[in-house]
Every structure is written in structure tokens, then in C-alpha cells.
């Protein structure tokens, strides 16, 4: 087990190093001089040169890469050029919007998808199954930003139950959760649709397995067998999908954050790219990569703990 | 019944109280969030939108109509030769941190802006300053190296506001000025709050607090206004929704002008635009009204030169470049391009450029000019078009006030090189009497119009949508600003 963990740790470190090089290189080749952008069209060349020097842009690329990685290893993610604020502070502020939003959306989608998927699988081919599969087809097809606009039109403009957007902060938790509700619903819809379909087909696969026939032969009813044996086994692919969806929700909510003008991580990256605040782009993307790799590492370890066959192969 | 009456009465009181509270706070939305809060470095207009006249003040300032009025300088004397300005500062002015604002702070601010290592985005405003001398705490003398008729105008810009050495290190995140509102809080990405400065030296504003929100998406802007999440939206990004607001009794729509001359820029040093006939042909191929209607939903005033039509010195030169595709084709033939040609049309992100670009491309195609449209981000535009001059055509709105002097710089991106024009501008800079300046400005406008340097399209409009009760908002944007000094909830 320890050898397995060490092996995984080595490959994790290698992934991080490769990722840092790729991120730095990609960000470096984006056209557009950050200093010239910040100073606008009336700036004199000597002013731009002064700002480039202040930002450290006149240093060679290798020096800047080393400084960036060296800082990160010590927990220093650098200082945003445009916001003049430490990147760590920017991320810390935004994560309190993005993380709760991702969890909220995931909770909603799971709450809807599990019962829907299980019900559809247990009534395979019936009217309920057809209705649910039709609804999920629609859920996958509807773009979430369009759905978000419809939600705003109904619940913010016409009914006035919610604000059209913005985030009041966590000082008042009720107001904060209320502000995240419409965005979470908009994000959850397509995820729930996908999850319900995966849940259904995964359950149906299990229902055809030998051990299900054995369970039925023991005298369990079809429903008892489904709940006691099929569901647990069917959860593995579903959990994998949930893991992927969570990474996506954490950083991929840019459009929804834009529609509801929420100060989340996606919008931070988006603004930083258009303002050429490269240090923010690099550090935030690196943090996200780190998070995803860490989650995968933990998942790998859990799989290995559960399933001895994986350890043996390593 | 008795209880019910008491309940009703107390409810009424509560309602009145909450009504009264709402009367002195306001939520203003603008499209872009300021990247930081230092107006003296960085070109982002959003910094001025939030802070100009609210938090920071300069020696002079723009009023709602674009006139230059007194700011922290209450009066001034200009020497005979136009080289020495003696400013008398307002008395009893303090910064929001309690420190006194005096002539030393003014000297510090001006010297900092013009210093060798200054990162002021408009450093040219200070280029003619030779020396700043403090005479006493409320009096200082600025000596210029050559007469500059624009000096008081230059000092009104947001880039020339007075800052204090005590608070300069943290200005980007905690701006300390002398204005009627003090910076209170900034939740980056969401909102910025200002609070009334109770020790303000001038007339106290009516509002107690103001919250700025940043909403860039046009649909979100519409929703936020309709749901009454925000009270005012300055620079409303969805012109197609304006009639709906105008028809709704809850709202008012203010249609104003800006200093943005929107032009189809031509690369004067690149073939075939180095030929004046071709440039003229381009201008006659363009139907300005079709662009204003199609791209701007009617918002904008046609211009025939690089000058704001609301300025008293504006000369109407539209006749030089009337829409006339026939004439355009014959001019192209005369230039030896009867079969037309292909060029690039590089477009920055604003909708005037992206929507306008499609219309211009089809108008140019009608006379035989094919364009390859490239949509660029601002940072790319500045590098490719502005710095490297790698373009044939581009559409951009020049939002700086009184910027006809860009035509005197042959290195400016459209690369217009005319010694006669430069002579006129040199004379203009040295002229301080108003009549003489008017005549020279007219001459300058005429030269660039008749040289067909660029195709002049329209003056960019600005729409403000606000709750109907609100008064005192600026209609026009003589500079990027949301001046809340005179804003109140009318009764």
C-alpha cells in the first residue's frame, strides 16, 4: 500500500511540474502586452517601459518561471498586476462563492437525479421511464445560460422572489443561499439530466448481472434486489461522474457567473485573461489543476483501499 | 380593532422609515469593474467612473456639460506670457484620513505624475510643466516650459487628481481623496461602496451612501434594472431595450453624448490607403446613418471630422464625405483600383466595432472593397493595431476629450503625416485667446476632413437608465464619471 501511495505521489509531482510548464508557456504566448493594455492608448513608450520594469516583465522568461514556481512552493502566489492585491486573497474571496455554488448545484442535481434514475430503471420501458428519459433529453439539450435567463425572467423580474444577480456575502447566510439559488438551479439542470441517465443505465447493467439472478433466486423481490445489491454496485460509475462534474462546476461556471454577475472563480479567470493579468491566470489555473490532481490522487487511494486488485497491479 | 389600528399605524411608521432610508442611498451599475482604485496610473475608464469627483478632486474639474470649472483651486492668475500659473487653493480641505490638503500635496501630486518613473497613463498632460513651487500652504505656482492653452483643461482630467504622500502606497486598494464621498468597501468582483464625507469642504451631497455594481452582460443589465436591484445604470449596454424602459413609468432614460469620436481608421502608410483617392473612396462608400441605426439602435450623431459635435468649436464637414457609392467607385477607378481590393478590418470588442464592422464590410463590398474581419480582444488590438500598426482598417472610438492633437503625431497608429497640420496645432498650443483658438481648431478639423485621414462615423452616445424619481444625474459624459455630488431622490 505504501509503495503504491509513493508511486502515485511521484506521478502526481511529475504531473504538477509538467502542468506548471504548460500553463506558464501557454500564458506567455497569448498576444498582448499587459503593461501596454493597462496604460491604454495615450501612454508614452517610456511610461510603458517603467511599468514593465515595475511588473518585472523585463526579466528573462526562465527567471520569471523560477520566481513563480519558487513563490508557489512557499505558498506565495504572487501579486495581481491589475488588482494590486495578492492572488491568494483574490482566490480566497472568490472560492467562497464558487465552492458553495458548486456544492449547492451538485446537491440539487443529485437530489433530483438519484430518485429519477432509480425510478426509471425500476420501471424500465414504462410510461414513467419514458417521461423521465424524455425530460433528461431536454435537460441535456437546453443551454444552461438560456435556462438561467428564463429563471431570471420568471423569478426575479416577474415574481420578484429573488434578485436578478449579485452576491451579498456570507454575513447573512440566508441571503447568501438565496442569491445562489437561481444560479445553482441553472447549473444543476443539465448535470441532473446527465446523472439521471448514467444512474439508470448503470442500474440496468447491474440488473442483468449473475449476482442479481442469485439474489432473486434467494427469494428477494425485484425491488429488494435492486435496493440491496444493484444500487451499491451501480454507484461506482455514478460517483466517478459526480467527481468530474464537481471539478467542472468549480471553475466552469463562467457563463452562469456572468449571467448572475457573481464574483466567482470563473469570472476572476475571465477578467484576468482579458486584462492580461497573467500572474492571476497562471496561479489560479495552477491551483485548479492542483485541486483536480489531488482529488484524483485521493480517489485512486480509495479505490486501492477498496479493491486489492488495483494495488497488486501497481 | 384597536390593536389592528395600532398595528397599522406602526406598520405605516416602519414603511415611512424604510422609505426615508432608501431616499439617501443609491445603487449605481456600470459595465466594467475598475481593476484597481488608483486614477493616477492605469488607463481603465472604470476607475474614473467610480472615483472622479466623488472621491478624488483635482485643481480644476469638468462639470456636467464639459466646461472647466474650479476644483481644489478656487482661483488662479496666468502671467502675461502664459508661462506661470498661480493657484489659490480652497481653505480647510482635508483628506478622508484627516490629514490636511495643502500646496505641498499638490506639488507632490504633479511632481509624481511627471517623474521619470511615473506610470501615469496620461503623462503627456504634465509634459509642459517645468517647475512647481509652493508659495504658502494655500498658494502655489506652476511654471510651464512653453505656453499651453490646454493647461487648465489638462488639470481637470481624472489622471491629474490631487493625492497625498501619506496614503499613496495603498491608493490602489484604499483610495484617500478630498471629495464629497469617502471610499468605504470593495468586494472585488461584486460591488464597491462609498459613504458621505461629513467633513467635506464644499456643499454636502444629498446621498448618504452609494453602492457601485459591475454588470457587463447586457441581458443581466436588463434583468438587474427591471428587478430594481439597481437604481441607475450608467452606460446601459443593451440599446435595444431602451424603448422598453422609456415606456415604463418606473424608469427614465437619459440619452447623452460622450467625447468618443468613432472612426473607421485607415493605415495611411500602407497600400492602398497611402493614396488619398482611396481613402476618399472609402469615406463615400459609407452610409453613417445605416451604421447608427443598425449597430447602435439610433444612438449617435454623425460626424465629418475628428471633433465632438456638441463642442462650440465644431465645424460641420459632413458634406466632404456624403454617402455616394457611385462617386466611391469612380474614385477607386481613378486610383487604378477599378476591380477593388482586399484589406483587413480589425475589430476591438465593443459592440460599436463588432456590429458596426459587419455593416461597414457590406457597404465596402458594394463598391468592390473586400474586407477580412478579425475580432480582437483589447490587449491584442493594442499590440497588433495600435503598437505594431499591422492593419488596413479598424474601428475604434477615441474617447479622450479634445484629442485632435493625435493627428500631429506621425507615429500614431493611423500614421497621418502632415507638416501643415502640425504647424496649426503648434500655433494652437501657444494660443490662449478664445477667438484665436476657435479659428485654429476649425482649420485643424478642416485639414483632416479634406485629407480623408480616416472615415469619421459618429459621436458615440451614452444611455443612462434610472429610476424615475432620481434627479441630478449627468446626461453627458464629458469625461468618464458618475458624479454623485448633485444626485438625489427627488420628492
Total number of domains in chain A: 1
Q: What is the pLDDT of residues B250-275, one digit of tens each?
A: 999 999 999 999 999 999 999 999 99
Query: For A205-209, what is the mean pLDDT?
Result: 84
**What is the DSSP track for chain A?**
-HHHHHHHHHHHHHHHHHHHHHHHHHHHHSSS-HHHHHH-TT--HHHHHHHHHHHTTTS-HHHHHHHHHHHHHTT---B-TTT-SBHHHHHHHHHHHHHHHHHHHHHHHHHHHHHHHHHHHHTTTSHHHHHHHHHHHHHHHS-HHHHHHHHIIIIIIIS-SS-SS----TTSHHHHHHHHHHHHHHHHHHHHHHHHHHHHHHHHHHHTSHHHHHHHHHT--HHHHIIIIIHHHHHHHHHHHHHHHHHHHHH--HHHHHHTT---HHHHHHHHHHTT-HHHHHHHHHHHHHHHHHHHHHHHHHHHHH-HHHHHH-
Fold of B259-460: Dipeptide-binding Protein; domain 3 (3.10.105)
Total length of chain A: 314
CB of B419 within 8 Å of a chain A CB? The answer is no
Closest CA to A253 of B131, A261, B326: A261
What pLDDT, on a 0 to 100 scale, did the predictor assign at position A52? 85
Q: H/E element holding B472?
A: none
Q: What is the mean pLDDT of residues A57-77?
A: 87
Q: Residue B491: pLDDT band by 50, 70, 90 thresholds?
A: low
A136 is in which domain, residue-wise? 94-312
Does a structural domain hold residue A179?
yes
pLDDT at A314: 45
Quick one: pLDDT band at residue A309, thresholds 50, 70, 90? low
- Contact of B150 with chain A, judged by CB distance below 8 Å, is answered with no
Note whether A31 contacts B172, CB cutoff 8 Å: no
pLDDT band, residue A93 (cuts 50/70/90)? confident
List the grid coordinates of B427. Answer: 500655433
Number of Cβ pairs < 8 A linking chain A and chain B:
154
B188·A36 Cβ contact <8 A: no
Flag whether A155 is in a domain. yes
Chain A positions touching B121 (Cβ under 8 A) are 38-40, 42-43, 47
Task: List pLDDT tens digits, range A14-32.
Answer: 999 999 999 998 888 887 8
CATH of region B60-170, choose from 3.10.580.10, 3.90.950.10, 3.90.76.10, 3.10.20.600: 3.90.76.10
- Window 176-195 of B: residues touching A by CB (8 A cutoff) are 187-191
Are B216 and A258 inside 8 Å of each other by CB?
A: yes
State pLDDT tens for residues A214-261.
888 888 887 888 887 888 778 877 887 887 888 788 766 888 988 898
Chain B closest-CA separation from residue A175 CA (Å): 14
Cβ within 8 Å, pair A51-B119: yes
Helices (H), B55-134: 103-114
Residues of chain B positioned with their CB less than 8 A from the CB of A165: 215, 220, 223-224, 229
C-beta atoms of B215 and A262 within 8 A: no
User: Does the beta-carbon distance from A275 to B215 stay under 8 Å?
Assistant: no
Percent with pLDDT over 90 in chain A = 25
Write the pLDDT tens digit of every residue in A107-151.
999 999 999 998 898 888 889 899 999 999 999 899 888 999 999
**Residue B36 touches partner A, C-beta closer than 8 Å:** yes
On average, the pLDDT of chain B sits at 91
Angle between helices A87-122 and A265-274 in degrees, nearest 10: 130
A157 CB neighbours in chain B (<8 A) are 223, 226-227
In chain B, which residues have their Cβ closer than 8 Å to the Cβ of A152? 220, 223, 227
Q: Residue A310's pLDDT is what?
A: 63
Domain B18-54+172-257+462-489 has CATH 3.40.190.10: yes
Minimum CA–CA partner of B36 in chain A: A83
Q: Are strands B488-489 and B470-471 parallel, antiparallel or unpaired?
A: antiparallel
Q: Is A100 within a domain?
A: yes
Tell me whether residues A44 and B123 touch, CB distance under 8 A.
yes
Same fold, B60-170 and B259-460: no
What is the predicted ipTM?
0.79
Q: What is the DSSP letter of B316?
A: -
- pLDDT computed for residue A288 by the predictor: 85
**pLDDT at residue B6 is higher than 50:** no
* Segments making up each domain of chain B, as ranges: 18-54+172-257+462-489, 60-170, 259-460
Do the Cβ atoms of B123 and A47 come within 8 Å?
Answer: yes
Q: Answer whether B379 sits within 8 Å of A31, measured CB to CB.
A: yes
Residue in chain A lying closest to B30 (CA) = A261
CB–CB contact B187 A169 (8 Å): yes
pLDDT in tens, B120-173: 888 889 999 999 999 999 999 999 998 888 899 999 999 999 999 999 999 999
Q: Report the C-alpha gap between A187 and A147 in whole angstroms.
A: 9
Indicate which CATH number applies to the domain containing A156: 1.10.3720.10
A163 falls within a domain: yes
Residues 364-393 of chain B whose Cβ lies under 8 A from any Cβ of chain A = 377-380, 382-384, 386-387
Whole-number Å distance between alpha carbons of B394 and B407: 16
Most B CBs within 10 Å: which of A36, A38, A56, A98, as the mutation test of the B interface? A38
Q: Rounded distance, CA A87 to CA B333, Å?
A: 58
Write down the pLDDT at residue B10.
Answer: 44
Distance from CA of A284 to the nearest CA of B (A): 15
- Put simply, the answer to whether B380 touches A167 (Cβ < 8 Å) is no
Amino acid at each position: 500500500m505504501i509503495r503504491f501511495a509513493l508511486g502515485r505521489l511521484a506521478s502526481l509531482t511529475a504531473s504538477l511540474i509538467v502542468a506548471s510548464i504548460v500553463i506558464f508557456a501557454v500564458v506567455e504566448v497569448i498576444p498582448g502586452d499587459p503593461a501596454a493594455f493597462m496604460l491604454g492608448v495615450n501612454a508614452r513608450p517610456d511610461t510603458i517601459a517603467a511599468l514593465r520594469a515595475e511588473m518585472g516583465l523585463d526579466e528573462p522568461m526562465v527567471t520569471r518561471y523560477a520566481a513563480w514556481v519558487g513563490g508557489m512552493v512557499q505558498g506565495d502566489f504572487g501579486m495581481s498586476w491589475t488588482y494590486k492585491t495578492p492572488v491568494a486573497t483574490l482566490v480566497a474571496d472568490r472560492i467562497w462563492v464558487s465552492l458553495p455554488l458548486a456544492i449547492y448545484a451538485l446537491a440539487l442535481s443529485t437530489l433530483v437525479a438519484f430518485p429519477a434514475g432509480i425510478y426509471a430503471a425500476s420501471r424500465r420501458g414504462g410510461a414513467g421511464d419514458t417521461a423521465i428519459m424524455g425530460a433528461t433529453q431536454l435537460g441535456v439539450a437546453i443551454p444552461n445560460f438560456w435556462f438561467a435567463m428564463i429563471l431570471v425572467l420568471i423569478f426575479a423580474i416577474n415574481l420578484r422572489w429573488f434578485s436578478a444577480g449579485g452576491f451579498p456575502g456570507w454575513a447573512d447566510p440566508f441571503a447568501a443561499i438565496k442569491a445562489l439559488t437561481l444560479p445553482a438551479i441553472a447549473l444543476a439542470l443539465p448535470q441532473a439530466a446527465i446523472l439521471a441517465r448514467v444512474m439508470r443505465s448503470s442500474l440496468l447493467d447491474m440488473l442483468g448481472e449473475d449476482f442479481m439472478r442469485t439474489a432473486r433466486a434467494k427469494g428477494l423481490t425485484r425491488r429488494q434486489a435492486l435496493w440491496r445489491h444493484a444500487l451499491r454496485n451501480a454507484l461506482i460509475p455514478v460517483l466517478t461522474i459526480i467527481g468530474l462534474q464537481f471539478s467542472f462546476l468549480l471553475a466552469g461556471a463562467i457563463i452562469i457567473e456572468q449571467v448572475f454577475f457573481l464574483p466567482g472563480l470563473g469570472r476572476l479567470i475571465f477578467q484576468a485573461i482579458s486584462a492580461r493579468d497573467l500572474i492571476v491566470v497562471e496561479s489560479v489555473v495552477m491551483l485548479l489543476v492542483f485541486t483536480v490532481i489531488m482529488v484524483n490522487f485521493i480517489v485512486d487511494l480509495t479505490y486501492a483501499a477498496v479493491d486489492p486488485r488495483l494495488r497488486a497491479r501497481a | 380593532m384597536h390593536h389592528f389600528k395600532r398595528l397599522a399605524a406602526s406598520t405605516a411608521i416602519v414603511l415611512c422609515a424604510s422609505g426615508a432610508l432608501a431616499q439617501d442611498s443609491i445603487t449605481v451599475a456600470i459595465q466594467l469593474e475598475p481593476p484597481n482604485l488608483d486614477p493616477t496610473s492605469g488607463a481603465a475608464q472604470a476607475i474614473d467612473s467610480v472615483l472622479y469627483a466623488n472621491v478624488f478632486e483635482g485643481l480644476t474639474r469638468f462639470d456636467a456639460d464639459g466646461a472647466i470649472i474650479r476644483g481644489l483651486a478656487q482661483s488662479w492668475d496666468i502671467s502675461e506670457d502664459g508661462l506661470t500659473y498661480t493657484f489659490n487653493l480652497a481653505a480647510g480641505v482635508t483628506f478622508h484620513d484627516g490629514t490636511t490638503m495643502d500646496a505641498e500635496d499638490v506639488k507632490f501630486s504633479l511632481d509624481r505624475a511627471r517623474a521619470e518613473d511615473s506610470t501615469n497613463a496620461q503623462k503627456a498632460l504634465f509634459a509642459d510643466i517645468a517647475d512647481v513651487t509652493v508659495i504658502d500652504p494655500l498658494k502655489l505656482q506652476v511654471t510651464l516650459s512653453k505656453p499651453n492653452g490646454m493647461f487648465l483643461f489638462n488639470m481637470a482630467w481624472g489622471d491629474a487628481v490631487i493625492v497625498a504622500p501619506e496614503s499613496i502606497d495603498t491608493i490602489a486598494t484604499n483610495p484617500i481623496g478630498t471629495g464629497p464621498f469617502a471610499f468605504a468597501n470593495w468586494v472585488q468582483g461584486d460591488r464597491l461602496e462609498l459613504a458621505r464625507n461629513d467633513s467635506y469642504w464644499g456643499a454636502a451631497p444629498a446621498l448618504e451612501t452609494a453602492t457601485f455594481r459591475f454588470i457587463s452582460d447586457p441581458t443581466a443589465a436588463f434583468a438587474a434594472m427591471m428587478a430594481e436591484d439597481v437604481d441607475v445604470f450608467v452606460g446601459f449596454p443593451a440599446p435595444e431595450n431602451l424603448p422598453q424602459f422609456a415606456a415604463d413609468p418606473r424608469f427614465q432614460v437619459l440619452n447623452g453624448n460622450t467625447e468618443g469620436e468613432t472612426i473607421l481608421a485607415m493605415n495611411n502608410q500602407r497600400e492602398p490607403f497611402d493614396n488619398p483617392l482611396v481613402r476618399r473612396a472609402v469615406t463615400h462608400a459609407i452610409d453613417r446613418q445605416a451604421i447608427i441605426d443598425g449597430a447602435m439602435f439610433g444612438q449617435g450623431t454623425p460626424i465629418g471630422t475628428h471633433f465632438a459635435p456638441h463642442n462650440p468649436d465644431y465645424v460641420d464637414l459632413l458634406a466632404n464625405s456624403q454617402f455616394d457609392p457611385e462617386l466611391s467607385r469612380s474614385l477607386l477607378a481613378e486610383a487604378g483600383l477599378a476591380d477593388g481590393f482586399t484589406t483587413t478590418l480589425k475589430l476591438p470588442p465593443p459592440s460599436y466595432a463588432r456590429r458596426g464592422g459587419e455593416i461597414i464590410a457590406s457597404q465596402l463590398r458594394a463598391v468592390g472593397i473586400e474586407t477580412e474581419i478579425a475580432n480582437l480582444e483589447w490587449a491584442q488590438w493594442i499590440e497588433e493595431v495600435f503598437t505594431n500598426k499591422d492593419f488596413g482598417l479598424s474601428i475604434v472610438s477615441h474617447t479622450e476629450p479634445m484629442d485632435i492633437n493625435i493627428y500631429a503625431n506621425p507615429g500614431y497608429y493611423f500614421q497621418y503625416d502632415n507638416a501643415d497640420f502640425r504647424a496649426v496645432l503648434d500655433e494652437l498650443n501657444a494660443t490662449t485667446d478664445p477667438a484665436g483658438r476657435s479659428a485654429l481648431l476649425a482649420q485643424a478639423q478642416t485639414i483632416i476632413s479634406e485629407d480623408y485621414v480616416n472615415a469619421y462615423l459618429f459621436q458615440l452616445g451614452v444611455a443612462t437608465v434610472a429610476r424615475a424619481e432620481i434627479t441630478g444625474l449627468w446626461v453627458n459624459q464629458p469625461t468618464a464619471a458618475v458624479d454623485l455630488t448633485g444626485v438625489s431622490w427627488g420628492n
